[in-house]
């Protein structure tokens, strides 16, 4: 069995400086804004209350902006969230 060629990256990770087509955070952020998730809005992360404090524009790492476009501050700390994890208050 031949060894796999290593590229120095893991599946699901993006290298800095790369923005693969369809992976930009812009469309996800615009979708969140159009659903009412604007900065300063009170939300629930599950059952934990929080406030939207910003938008995640990351194009690489574990929490990329197209999957987790919202940054929310709760009593437990700051987290990146998807639209599906939140509900408006």
The total number of structural domains that make up the chain: 1
Give per-residue pLDDT as tens, 25-82: 899 999 999 999 999 999 999 999 999 999 999 988 999 999 999 999 999 999 999 9
In the structure encoding, which two tokens stand for residue 9, read together? 């990256």
Could you tell me if residue 62 is inside a domain? yes
Q: Which domain holds residue 42?
A: 26-88
Beta strands in 1-89 (DSSP E): 42-45, 48-55, 70-74, 77-81, 86-88
**What's the CATH number where 39 sits?**
2.30.30
Could you tell me if residue 34 is inside a domain? yes
Please give the pLDDT value at position 4.
62
Could you tell me if residue 17 is inside a domain? no
Could you tell me if residue 61 is inside a domain? yes
């Amino acid at each position: 069995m031949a060894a796999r060629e290593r590229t120095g990256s893991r599946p699901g990770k993006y290298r800095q400086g790369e923005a693969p087509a369809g992976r930009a955070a812009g469309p996800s952020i615009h979708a969140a804004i159009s659903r009412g998730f604007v900065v300063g809005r009170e939300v629930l992360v599950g059952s934990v209350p929080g406030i939207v404090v910003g938008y995640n524009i990351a194009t690489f790492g574990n929490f990329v902006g197209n999957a987790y476009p919202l940054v929310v501050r709760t009593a437990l700390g700051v987290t990146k969230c998807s639209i599906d994890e939140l509900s408006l208050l």
